Amino acid sequence: MLEVYLVRHGETQWNAERRIQGQSDSPLTAKGEQQACQVAQRAKTLGITHVITSDLGRTQQTARIIAEACGCDIILEPRLRELDMGVLEKRHVDSLTEEEEGWRRTLVNGTKEGRIPEGESMQELSVRVHGALAECLNLPAGSRPLLVSHGIALGCLVSTILGLPAWAERRLRLRNCSISRIDHQESPWLASGWVVEMAGDISHLDAPALDELQR
């Protein structure tokens, strides 16, 4: 069985300001750095052998802290990037027009072909994050990788492993520096392949963490 841990990056300046990030970037806040240190201490107890991260700045910042605690180098994987949110990136969520908010809602309300103009669909996101996950199956026997990615990207990955379509209504909350685990296994009582062991655990954090735009 292969165990793969999934970590969302720490709180960023734009998370705190309620700005839409997508594949644009803002640095971790002091709280985000603290969250990364706390999830790193938990990761240190898990026997992590590889830290694989989205190449965006906020995930690399988080991954470096985790990798140092685990004694690993970081491996950059662009397919773990957040959903491309097109023309709405960098915008404050409260500044959106009714039309723009409608575009954003198509990403979470079950609209099959939903996307923000110049951005990605959830199905396109699903294809690339599953491609990154599949690479873990090529790691040496006994490996225990940890992937550092983003809220929508990881939510899409976990939800589709559970059998939902990529564009299903979004009902999985993954807060900053939450940790999830998926296993690749064979079992007489579960479907073969990837299964979800846990999702969105924040028991290692000593203060509440944010959802993407939550205050």
At 162-215, the pLDDT tens digits run 999 999 999 999 999 999 999 999 999 999 999 999 999 999 999 777 765 554
- Selecting among 11, 77, 82, 120, the annotated active-site residue is 82
Question: What pLDDT is stored for residue 215 in this prediction?
Answer: 46
Query: What pTM, to 2 d.p., does this model score?
Result: 0.96
Instruction: Name all domains of the chain by residue range, CATH numbers in brackets.
Output: 2-201 (3.40.50.1240)
Distance between CA 139 and CA 211 in Å, rounded? 31
Task: Note if 204 is an active site residue.
Answer: no
For 202, residues 6+ apart whose C-beta sits below 8 A from its C-beta are 175, 177, 178, 179, 209
Task: Note if 9 is an active site residue.
Answer: yes
> Which of 96, 38, 44, 100 lies closest to 67 in space, CA to CA?
44
At 103-140, the pLDDT tens digits run 999 999 999 999 999 999 999 999 999 999 999 999 99
Direct distance between the N- and C-terminal alpha carbons of the chain, in angstroms, rounded to an integer = 39
- Selecting among 3, 9, 50, 77, the annotated active-site residue is 9
